[in-house]
Structure 1
Amino acid sequence: MKKDNYDLTEIPIPNVSFGGPVLPLPSLVETSELQEDANHAKKTISGKSFPVLPVFNAVVFPNVLQAVMLTEDKQIGAVDNAMSKGQLLVAVTSTSEDADEEISTKSLYEVGVLCIVEDVIHPSPENLVAILRGVVRVDIDSFTQSNPYLRCRVSNPLMPVHSNRVLAHDTELFVAYSKLQYELGELVHLRQMENADEFVNSLHKENNIPFLVNFTAAYLSLVARVKIELLRISDVKELVIALIPYVRQTSELVQINEKISKQTQSDMDEMQRKHFLEQQIRTIREELGEGDLADQTIDELREASTKKQWSEAVQKIFDRELGNLERIPTQAPDYSIQLQYLRLMLDLPWQECSQDRFDLQHAEKILNRDHFGLELVKERILEHLAVIKLKNDLKAPILCLYGPPGVGKTSLGKSIAESLGRKYVRISLGGLHDEAEIRGHRRTYIGAMCGRIIDSLKKAGTSNPVFVLDEIDKISSDYKGDPAAALLEVLDPEQNVAFHDNYLDIDYDLSKVLFIATANTLSTISRPLLDRMELIQVSGYLLEEKIEIAQRHLVPKELEAHGLTSEQFAIDTDALTYLIEGYTRESGVRALQKKLAALMRKQAKRVAMEQEYEVQITPEIIQQDLRTPPYTRDIWQDFGMPGIVTGLAWTEVGGEILFIESSTHHGKEGKVTLTGNLGDVMKESAVIALDYIKAHSEELQIPVDTFDKLEIHLHVPEGAIPKDGPSAGITMATSLVSTLTKRTVKPRIAMSGEITLTGRVLPVGGIKEKILAAKRAGVKTLILSKENEKDILDIKPIYIEGLTFSYVETIREVLDLALND
């Protein structure tokens, strides 16, 4: 071999490529030398054999320099023999595209090109390349040798047409040749080749047909089979005409590619810019000794995992997902998704729990400090603490506090968390209709995230917080699923030990969480969900309780919110009573807080404007600032006539007294009229009471013919307000008996109870609110069912002071207690 370190720069050729590999090409000034070589070859070719160089995935053409990679021993042997003896060799294309397959004569085409081996170079220590110069095309007659390299006999050399004068005698060839020159020049310009203008000018200066056609055929991006067909064409004109469509097709492909490149250039530029900046950041970090950012992130995640208190199963999942992250390029969209998932796993507290505080006296003090009343709820929490203190492994119960708005259900969760020494977490379920809000999305979706349960635990940082599920009765469902059904697993102590979030995709233990649900009503909560919760009713506040809450909590809070001091604003019990009774009608204290805020704004204005003002707020000042009271409370009145009885009613905003009136007059025999916007149940109670009176008219000393002579009218005042329920049964019966017997009702007496057809008195609800209403109205004696006696025991004695309770079992007892002789 001539050289071991061949320098490609010594070959005077332009860098040209039309889709294939960039290969060295001869300059046009070498064509005379090629012609001499062809003439010499024609004289010495007949009857001789030549070494065979198999070529893979390429076709060598005459008049063109071509680089051929040498990978097989037979290839290297043929080149060595040709160079050592100064012989030509035959470059024959293999039908096989795999260079690793064993070379055989059957895998070679029957046509080849006699070539001169210009040189052999080593582009790299592993590669060996032969530089061939094609001389003449030949047919393969037979193979004379197979080892250590192939040899063959050739025939039918195709001598190149080198006379330029042939173009002047063949007009069709001249036109076709000119067209080929033009198309080739356009292709060179489209490819934006270096020295394109110089190269095109050289094509037009010398009309060298052999070089142009072979150069074009060699360096178009065509498959080997098509190039072999072009090599077989012996007629020059036919070859020129055959090449023109291929050149034009290549130009069209270049234009399409250029158009697509321009459309995507902006996106590519942004990606390249981002990649470039990331590379710069990576380089800077390496110079500062911080290492690769991605590697640093991996190391930080792996180190953080060693500090987590999780099970071996979770650790295996984390290691697997971390391995997936290492295999994802940082520029890929999936990288940030995977990184976010791993960080969620690390942020979750898993088995990390805060230490419970078992000081029951301290817990009771906290609960009493923050909430006045609510004795049943506070007692239940203290019971739970006591059991945990004794057993230390009790599963957390699921409490559901239900009651009217504004009674402190939500704020109670904060006090419970403080008394237990736990973190406080709250999520509002009002209007929630997507199941994924509870269980999370699967990671296959774009923008997937974990559910609100897991996300709240991540923010809390412990696995045993006090978790308030606010407004659980206002959950809805649609085509996205039923969140209430998803909560079944969360609120079931037997299932939430392995709660499954779709995004996390790992079972998480919720059994240590103290769940507290709040609701205004139980009617809209599904029965399976109710079955999993321990229901605790939070009833409305009595007047005395509201006054205490205002003095202890609301007034100090609003003073601070409005920038006032106790020396600038003070309100006593009488003024609070007037404010509550005249300006609020609710079970809770939210409206009371708003009215106090309104009073303080008025006072703040007077203080800021340096006007005269009274520090002590009186009912007169309240009426002046808040205008006329919108509500009036019913007061017991001594009407002094039969048929008017005071009953007790429960409403959503508390208890009320209810007057029931009845009268008789001559009219249609046996007709009974009921008025006052009564519901079906209340109408039934009236019918039952009248039927009982008719059945026992003799015992009640009512003449039998009374019902045949008189028309009875029973009315409940305030007819614009709908009224319903069975609790006015004994009140209606007492009113009818009073009217029919002309016996008046004893003073300051009220009653509530359901009546049956046989005269029994059944218990009713809302006793606490009804007692409050009776006390406000000035009632002294209350008649209730015997079974309602237990409800009185739950009320503090201070709130029922001055009231007398009479418990009855039959309507006869009611009549004896309520009516005068």
Structure 2
Amino acid sequence: MSEQSPTPEIVQYPLLPLRDVVVFPHMVIPLFVGRPKSIKAMETAMEAGKSILLVAQKSAAKDDPGPQDMYAIGCVSNILQMLKLPDGTVKVLVEGGTRAHIRDVIDVRTHWVAEASAVAAEGAGAPEVEALRRALLSAFDQYVKLNKKIPPEILTSLSGIDEAGRLADTVAAHLPLKLEQKQQVLEMFDVKQRLEHLLSQLETEIDILQVEKRIRGRVKRQMEKSQREYYLNEQVKAIQKELGEGEEGADLEEMEKRIKRAHMPKDARKKAESELKKLKLMSPMSAEATVVRNYIETLVNLPWKKKSKISKDIKQAQEILDRDHYGLEKVKERIVEYLAVQTRVEKMKAPILCLVGAPGVGKTSLGQSIARATNRKFVRMSLGGVRDEAEVRGHRRTYIGSMPGKILQNMSKVAVKNPLFLLDEVDKMGMDWRGDPSSALLEVLDPEQNHTFVDHYIEVEYDLSEVMFVATANTLNIPPALLDRMEVIRLSGYTEDEKMNIATKYLLPKQMKNAGLQEGELSVSEAAIRDIVRYYTREAGVRAMEREISKICRKAVKQLLTDKKAGDDKPHRITVTPKNLDKFLGVRRYTFGMAEKQNQVGQVTGLAWTEVGGELLTIEAATMPGKGKTITTGKLGDVMQESIQAALSVVRARSRRLGVKEDFYQKHDIHIHLPEGAT
């Protein structure tokens, strides 16, 4: 009616705002109406010719929209059917008619009334419209084939629509466009523009559907593969159950879970999963299955992520070190320095210390003390007499009875990746045709390499960079390359005063406890302890002194029990003094004080230095008629023999001053004897 008049006719219609719905011309759609104003508008429309203006709300959240909340373009529709529901709402079936431009909205209290004019289509006769109509129909045909949600019958009804504008509206109604996009199509009065816009939207939707189809196909193939594997695995389980191997399947499932829980690096996990696949295909009774199972168990048991929380409390660490050991200030200072730096630097390389000292000075026990001070777990590996490289780096799996090296075995035992690892007696390693273990240790003790340590058995990299290595040695008889990787801290022998402090504070209470003595049952005087140091021991450390104190404690227990059996029930207190010390330890073994008060002919005292402490040597000499030979006895080394020759040369050079006849050396033999010359 408005298409032929130059001035559009303005008509009043009951107005129904819609949420999330845009109604197009010729579109039949059911609506549920629940708002009082909307229901009243429907009733008014039914009474006045069944025409109603449907317009979309800009925001669905508005429960009572005003004129500003509605779009300006709507659709004059015809009510086909109206049904009141028991809950008070209304179900209505409407058919879109023509586009309408809302000029004004009037609130008549009970409902909204719109003054609107119909909008005519533009450009329907343009030459390109027919071509665009056909292209749109073809594209929609492709879209329906890809989109299973739209019934194919819709194509039959579309092919019967000759009017391009109506076709465009019908296609727009079936596309999954947003409310704003559908409203934009409704507001396009130019048919050509509407067709071009919808063709572009259709092409975009087709591209999206094609991608979705590819994704669905890929997912389906993966699911089919997974289902096939699951089916085959279930068949294998059923066969194993029939053969009595059902428990093995449960073990393999548990092992698979343990691999996932182990938090291995990517390479290690890939290796473990590969070996597990092999194991699933093997007979559980085969020897190869046992080898593979042991290998997976080794990988799973290694601590890949688990750590101890390192203590950074400097004061507490100092207290622990002082409580456990008397003296040893250098090594204590080095540990406290390490902890101090660690408080500033979050991740730092642990020091590799080498404690060098005589036997019994407390190197091994100091390692345990350092572990307590830093709150690390302690693990010890003795290298004394080790000659096989495989002890460190493991055996290759091709050998029967192969196993990982002691490094990884101990890491599995301690179950954390940052323990304190004590390498005991590192100077006593040997080498033979099986390899050199000291060379294998080069990788372990190098901070630049040990984060990628590879054991021959596991064949994947393992990170040792967070381990704190402490080595102990009696001498520096260590290969230079290995020694270069360690920070050497010398532990000198204890002085007499230090030994007395150690005996009083540590050894005596320890041995009394070991012997079952109460605190008031035994007393050892300071003078008695000093005599033990002077006359019963001669060492750099304190092991011999501990044995002597242990002997005193045992004899004290024996005496207490003997007195009790004799009927003496009075509480006893055994006191050890220098006067009765010989009753507990026997006669004195060593002398103390001046070596000799008077010079002895043919005898002199020498002082020797060794890696394990000092030694006093008694050197004896005798002359006899002969032919000028020099005889040496006492298992002398080259250095001592050369020293004897040098001394003899000095005496001969001073013969005239010393009053020795010149022919004395030709007519006499000289015999020099060192009872402990092998030192």
**Structure 2 Cα separation of the partners of residues 644 and 347 of structure 1:** 65
- Corresponding letter in the other structure for 1:544: D
Q: Deviations over 1:300-330 (max 9, x none)?
A: 2333333333322222222222222222233
2:418–2:466 Cα contact (<8 Å) kept: yes
1:687-706 alignment runs, 5 A limit: none
SS at match of 1:570: strand
Pairing partner for 2:591 from 623, 632, 645: 632
Q: Which runs of 5+ in 1 are unaligned?
A: 1-274, 283-291, 725-821
Tell me the CA shift for residue 656 of structure 1.
Answer: 5.3
What percentage of residue pairs aligned between the two structures are identical? 41
2:617–2:676 Cα contact (<8 Å) kept: no
Tell me the CA shift for residue 564 of structure 1.
Answer: 0.7
Q: Deviations over 1:328-381 (max 9, x none)?
A: 233333333322222221211113222211111111111111111222222222
1:425 corresponds in structure 2 to 379
1:435–1:480 Cα contact (<8 Å) kept: yes
**Structure 1 Cα separation of the partners of residues 594 and 275 of structure 2:** 73
2:332 corresponds in structure 1 to 378
**Structure 2 Cα separation of the partners of residues 600 and 638 of structure 1:** 36
2:423–2:472 Cα contact (<8 Å) kept: yes
SS at match of 2:293: helix
2:542 corresponds in structure 1 to 589
SS at match of 2:408: helix
* 1:538 lines up with 2:497 in the alignment: no
Report the aligned-residue RMSD: 3.9
Tell me the CA shift for residue 590 of structure 1.
Answer: 1.3
* 1:561 lines up with 2:514 in the alignment: yes
Q: Deviations over 1:26-59 (max 9, x none)?
A: xxxxxxxxxxxxxxxxxxxxxxxxxxxxxxxxxx
- Corresponding letter in the other structure for 1:550: A
**Structure 1 Cα separation of the partners of residues 460 and 261 of structure 2:** 19
SS at match of 2:579: helix
1:367–1:419 Cα contact (<8 Å) kept: yes
Pairing partner for 2:349 from 390, 395, 415: 395
Pairing partner for 2:319 from 365, 379, 388: 365
1:522 corresponds in structure 2 to 476
1:720 corresponds in structure 2 to 675
Tell me the CA shift for residue 723 of structure 1.
Answer: 7.3
1:572 corresponds in structure 2 to 525
**Structure 2 Cα separation of the partners of residues 308 and 550 of structure 1:** 47
**Structure 2 Cα separation of the partners of residues 277 and 507 of structure 1:** 35
Tell me the CA shift for residue 457 of structure 1.
Answer: 0.4
Tell me the CA shift for residue 614 of structure 1.
Answer: 5.1
1:321 corresponds in structure 2 to 275
1:401–1:538 Cα contact (<8 Å) kept: yes
Tell me the CA shift for residue 424 of structure 1.
Answer: 0.4
* 1:439 lines up with 2:439 in the alignment: no
Q: Deviations over 1:784-810 (max 9, x none)?
A: xxxxxxxxxxxxxxxxxxxxxxxxxxx
Tell me the CA shift for residue 426 of structure 1.
Answer: 0.6
1:223-234 alignment runs, 5 A limit: none
2:20 corresponds in structure 1 to none
1:634–1:657 Cα contact (<8 Å) kept: no
- Corresponding letter in the other structure for 1:605: K
**Structure 1 Cα separation of the partners of residues 645 and 240 of structure 2:** 88
* 1:506 lines up with 2:465 in the alignment: no
Between the two proteins, the alignment pairs up a number of residues equal to 433
Name the CA shift for 1:293/1:425 in 2 (closer, same or farther; >3 Å): same
2:621–2:672 Cα contact (<8 Å) kept: no
- Corresponding letter in the other structure for 1:720: P
2:620–2:673 Cα contact (<8 Å) kept: no
**Structure 2 Cα separation of the partners of residues 375 and 674 of structure 1:** 47
2:621–2:673 Cα contact (<8 Å) kept: no
**Structure 1 Cα separation of the partners of residues 573 and 613 of structure 2:** 32
**Structure 1 Cα separation of the partners of residues 657 and 364 of structure 2:** 59
Q: Deviations over 1:77-118 (max 9, x none)?
A: xxxxxxxxxxxxxxxxxxxxxxxxxxxxxxxxxxxxxxxxxx
Tell me the CA shift for residue 606 of structure 1.
Answer: 1.6
**Structure 2 Cα separation of the partners of residues 336 and 637 of structure 1:** 71
* 1:338 lines up with 2:297 in the alignment: no
1:193 corresponds in structure 2 to none
Q: Deviations over 1:487-544 (max 9, x none)?
A: 2221222221211111111111111111111122222x32322222222222221111
SS at match of 1:515: strand
- Corresponding letter in the other structure for 1:494: E
Name the CA shift for 1:430/1:691 in 2 (closer, same or farther; >3 Å): closer
Structure 1 length-normalised TM: 0.47
- Corresponding letter in the other structure for 1:628: V
Name the CA shift for 1:535/1:560 in 2 (closer, same or farther; >3 Å): same
2:438 corresponds in structure 1 to 484
Q: Deviations over 1:223-243 (max 9, x none)?
A: xxxxxxxxxxxxxxxxxxxxx
SS at match of 2:326: coil
1:350 corresponds in structure 2 to 304
Name the CA shift for 1:402/1:276 in 2 (closer, same or farther; >3 Å): same
2:303–2:416 Cα contact (<8 Å) kept: yes
SS at match of 1:351: coil
Tell me the CA shift for residue 639 of structure 1.
Answer: 3.7
Name the CA shift for 1:436/1:690 in 2 (closer, same or farther; >3 Å): closer
Q: Deviations over 1:142-181 (max 9, x none)?
A: xxxxxxxxxxxxxxxxxxxxxxxxxxxxxxxxxxxxxxxx
1:85-124 alignment runs, 5 A limit: none
Name the CA shift for 1:280/1:683 in 2 (closer, same or farther; >3 Å): closer
SS at match of 1:518: strand
**Structure 1 Cα separation of the partners of residues 616 and 279 of structure 2:** 71
SS at match of 2:335: helix
1:585–1:654 Cα contact (<8 Å) kept: no
Tell me the CA shift for residue 690 of structure 1.
Answer: 8.4
1:120-135 alignment runs, 5 A limit: none
Structure 2 length-normalised TM: 0.56
**Structure 1 Cα separation of the partners of residues 630 and 285 of structure 2:** 83
Pairing partner for 2:411 from 445, 454, 457: 457
2:606–2:616 Cα contact (<8 Å) kept: yes
2:421–2:470 Cα contact (<8 Å) kept: yes
SS at match of 1:397: coil
SS at match of 2:432: coil
1:674–1:683 Cα contact (<8 Å) kept: no
Name the CA shift for 1:450/1:279 in 2 (closer, same or farther; >3 Å): farther
**Structure 1 Cα separation of the partners of residues 672 and 518 of structure 2:** 45
**Structure 1 Cα separation of the partners of residues 540 and 487 of structure 2:** 22
Tell me the CA shift for residue 687 of structure 1.
Answer: 6.7
Name the CA shift for 1:299/1:634 in 2 (closer, same or farther; >3 Å): same
- Corresponding letter in the other structure for 1:459: K
SS at match of 1:306: helix
Tell me the CA shift for residue 409 of structure 1.
Answer: 1.1
**Structure 1 Cα separation of the partners of residues 544 and 525 of structure 2:** 18
Q: Deviations over 1:682-712 (max 9, x none)?
A: 56557767878999x9xxxx99696767979
Pairing partner for 2:559 from 606, 613, 622: 606
Tell me the CA shift for residue 681 of structure 1.
Answer: 4.0
Tell me the CA shift for residue 422 of structure 1.
Answer: 0.6
1:354–1:462 Cα contact (<8 Å) kept: yes
Name the CA shift for 1:357/1:692 in 2 (closer, same or farther; >3 Å): same
* 1:622 lines up with 2:589 in the alignment: no
Name the CA shift for 1:365/1:279 in 2 (closer, same or farther; >3 Å): farther
Tell me the CA shift for residue 448 of structure 1.
Answer: 1.9
User: Which structure is higher in RCO with an 8 Å CA cutoff and minimum separation 6?
Assistant: 2
Q: Deviations over 1:163-216 (max 9, x none)?
A: xxxxxxxxxxxxxxxxxxxxxxxxxxxxxxxxxxxxxxxxxxxxxxxxxxxxxx
2:367 corresponds in structure 1 to 413
More displaced stretch, 555-564 vs 715-724? 715-724
